[in-house]
Amino acid sequence: MTPRAWAAGTLVVLLVLLAVYAAVTIPWHRPPAPRADQLAALGQLPREQVSRAREFHSALRPGSYGALAVGLLVTLVLGLTPLGAWLVTQAGRPFGGNWVAQALLGGLLVTLAGEVVTLPFAAWRHVVVVRYDISTQSWAAWTADLLKSWAVGAVIGAVALLGFYTITHFAPRWWWAFGGFGAAGLVVLLSFILPVLVEPVFNKFTPMPDGPLRTSLLELADRDGVPVRDVLVADASRRTKAVNAYVSGIGPTRRIVVYDTMLTEATPGEVVSVVAHELGHAKDDDVLTGTVLGALGTAAAVIALYLLGSWAGLLRRAGVDSIGEPRALALMLAVVSLVGIVAGPAQSFVSRRIEARADEHALGLTGDPATFEAMQRRLGTVNLSDPDPPTWEYLYSASHPSTVERMAAARAYARGDR
């Protein structure tokens, strides 16, 4: 068999494994909370709160969707014309056209182009969140976080690109096999190291002081059978007034993290309710599920890129000879971006199902639907969430059930509808 035949067969196997694993681990059959309960919950929210939240999201949309459209346009122009290949060539020229320089500096140049053209939209978003009293950041602090984000992305991207193009350079016929395996391994590695190495770049974490709340959270985790290493408080207030909590890490790196804003804005019972939701993710191995799905999907994407390399018309349009060469980097990013946009609604659908299961877990673990509903009301109020977003936006990008869905789920649980 030829390498292409092996690649096609392996891609089919990976897609079958991906489908089977997703079918087994994702809670597909979770009907939304009754619409009547949702409307009742919406009617009980303060009208001025709902109006302000909707105004906030209306103000955000031009920047959010503008950045998406402009970023995609730039990516397609660079990837589907010789311009992207020219930029990569120019980046490597001071080093004699070395493929390593093309991969690293070309990759930085191409990705930076997208970041720069969408920077005005990011600044627009900052203006809006400051105007609506969500962000506490000055322009200097915002810029510092932006540069940190770019730096982290550059480091991770450099490692990925150098590894990928090293494989394509030394194994031009079989790079799909080594590259797919390496990409899957990188996804797994990042799942372990990102909470430990990257989160501290943006926040400071301190152990929660001994007291009733810390004891309650540790007892909750113990009762749930989810071992955690520590309970930490993140200094989120230096950036935002939004409230949140999460369980971070896998295995020995797992810890409960609570925003300091939540400690001042929410009651202890509401904090417990949020953490119970997050423990549900750990209990059901949602991070592991996402890691496995991500690894399988990434490996499949690498092989699909290899097979796409035989599309002469596409390569000719991009001005490259092979999709495995560094000069085709912009083309690869264009393909990945298009696939990401098309797959976005499906990813959001899956995420909502997983979040709904975690909500159900929280209700069962605490047995306190009234506090769960109060917590959802608190989250929506402080974070200015649209309690009942437009259907098109909900289907396209909502990663969580809406506020009224979650409040309605608590009411259904209280009636015994489980």
Per-residue pLDDT of the chain (418 residues; tens, 9 = 90+): 788 899 999 999 999 999 999 999 999 877 677 888 898 889 889 999 999 999 999 999 999 999 999 999 999 999 999 999 999 999 999 988 899 999 999 999 999 999 999 999 999 999 999 999 999 999 999 999 999 999 988 998 999 999 999 999 999 889 999 999 999 998 988 887 777 777 787 889 999 999 999 999 999 999 999 999 899 999 999 889 989 999 887 777 788 999 999 999 999 999 999 999 999 999 998 988 999 999 999 999 999 999 988 788 999 999 999 999 999 999 999 999 998 899 999 999 999 999 999 999 999 999 999 999 999 998 888 889 999 999 999 999 999 999 999 999 999 998 876 6
Taking the whole predicted model, whether its pTM rises above 0.85 is answered as yes
Residue 317 CA to residue 61 CA, distance in Å, equals: 33
Closest CA to 329 of 340, 318, 342: 318
DSSP 335-382: HHHHHHHHHHHHHHHHHHHHHHHHHHHHHHHH--HHHHHHHHHHHHHH
Binding-site residue positions: 277, 281, 355
Domains belonging to the chain, first-starting first, are 3-202+285-415 (no CATH), 203-284 (3.30.2010.10)
Helix and strand counts by DSSP (H, E) for the chain: 19, 4
Cα→Cα distances 8→305, 311, 322, Å: 11, 15, 18
Residue 371 CA to residue 347 CA, distance in Å, equals: 29
Catalytic annotation, pick one of 278, 286, 360, 368? 278
Binding-site residue positions for Zn(2+): 277, 281, 355
Element (H, E) at 254: none
Contacts of residue 287, defined as CB under 8 A and 6 or more positions apart, other chains included, come to 191, 250, 281
DSSP state of 93: G
The Cα diameter of the chain in Å comes to 72
DSSP 236-248: GGGTBS---EEEE
Catalytic annotation, pick one of 37, 265, 359, 405? 359
- Establish whether 278 is a catalytic residue: yes
Reduced to 3 states (helix: H, G, I; strand: E, B; else coil), residue 255 is: strand
